Amino acid sequence: MMKIDLLAFAAHPDDVELSASGTLLLHKAQGKTTGIIDLTRGELGSRGNMDLRSEEAQNASAILGIDVRENLGMADGFFEINEASLLKVIEVIRKYRPEIVLAPALSDRHPDHSRAAELVSRACFLSGLVKIESQFGGGAQSAWRPKAVYHYIQDRIEDYDLVIDITPYWEKKMESILAYSSQFHTGKDSSGEPQTPISSKEFMEYLKAKAIAFGRPIQVMYAEAFKVERTPGVHSLFDLY
């Protein structure tokens, strides 16, 4: 078992790559341990299949250099916020004891995203309650609550609180996204596969434009945006720009 500094949760494989992989790359370069927990295998996706997406997730993980990746095997489209699903997330939080958790968007086009956001947020709080029992590897787990939860921005560009400069990591981020060749436009022939809102060349251009828009307020080329759950604090005003 490895303690992870920064742990990102996703409703589906590729969610983190699309919205927060630059942030993972940045912190990995700073010497932090990083990981991704996918709630589902994305088995309801119109393109590809469950096994292919698992292989693509492994390839993306290698590109990002993350330390751990797990899939909790919840039902794509049908997982609910109940005791069973909360305990699954609590167990993995207590297993890796992250300092910071990145969670899906609070509101988004895909209903799984906002449901996953609430699930992860609630689990992060409950994980800190000593009277909630959980086990890993046959042994009892101790309580653990991350210091902060930040929700990354996905398809809907609504309200956000902070942005992170990912300019040096933009090309590597895009490489991790294109590892999901079944889902996105890679320039290769994908005839026979249905077209989806994310499979076109235009979607890739949208991703770039969005990152540029996030970067503009702080005068950088590319950024990722996050919504905070509690007021963040800094040691100095000079930490902000």
pLDDT over 90 percentage in the chain: 78
| More confident site: 155 or 50 | 155
Give the separation between CA 138 and CA 160, rounded to whole angstroms: 41
Q: Tell me what pLDDT residue 190 has.
A: 56
User: Using CA atoms, how far apart are residues 33 and 69, in angstroms rounded to an integer?
Assistant: 12
User: Would you state the structure tokens that stand for residue 94, as one six-digit string?
Assistant: 């207590």
- 61 touches 42 (CB < 8 A): no
Average per-residue pLDDT for the chain:
93
Mean of the pLDDT values across residues 106-111?
93
Residue 216 DSSP class = G
Query: What CATH fold (topology level) applies to the domain 6-239?
Result: Rossmann fold (3.40.50)
Least confidently predicted of 21-35, 123-137, 158-172, 178-192: 178-192
Domain boundaries in the chain?
A: 6-239
Q: Is the per-residue pLDDT at 231 higher than 80?
A: yes
Q: What's the pLDDT band for 189 if we cut at 50, 70, 90?
A: low
Confidence label for 187 from pLDDT (cuts 50, 70 and 90)? low
Interatomic CA distance for residues 116 and 114, integer angstroms: 5
Label the pairing between strands 6-10 and 100-103: parallel
Residue 180 confidence (pLDDT) above 70: yes
Q: What are phi and psi of 61, to 5 degrees?
A: -60, -40
In this prediction, residue 70 carries a pLDDT of 98
pLDDT grade for 197, boundaries at 50, 70 and 90: confident
- Quick one: pLDDT band at residue 47, thresholds 50, 70, 90? confident
Q: What is the dihedral of CA 200, 202, 206, 209, to 10 degrees?
A: 150
111: burial class by Cβ within 10 Å (0-12, 13-18, 19+)? Answer: exposed
CA–CA gap between residue 96 and residue 170 (Å, rounded): 27
Rounded distance between C-alpha atoms, residue 216 and residue 222, angstroms = 8
pLDDT band at 202 (very low <50, low <70, confident <90, very high): confident
- 187 Cβ partners below 8 Å, 6+ apart? none
Instruction: Please give the average per-residue pLDDT across 39-60, as a whole number.
Output: 88
Pairing of strands 162-165, 223-228: antiparallel
CA 104 from centroid of its chain's CA atoms: 6
> CB under 8 Å to 24, separation ≥6 — which residues?
6, 8, 16, 34, 36, 64, 66, 102
| Choice among 68-72, 143-147, 196-200 with the minimum mean pLDDT | 196-200
Instruction: Give the Cα separation of 199 and 196 in Å (integer).
Output: 5
pTM for the whole structure: 0.93
For residue 135, what are the CA distances in angstroms to 9, 31, 79, 84?
A: 20, 29, 21, 13
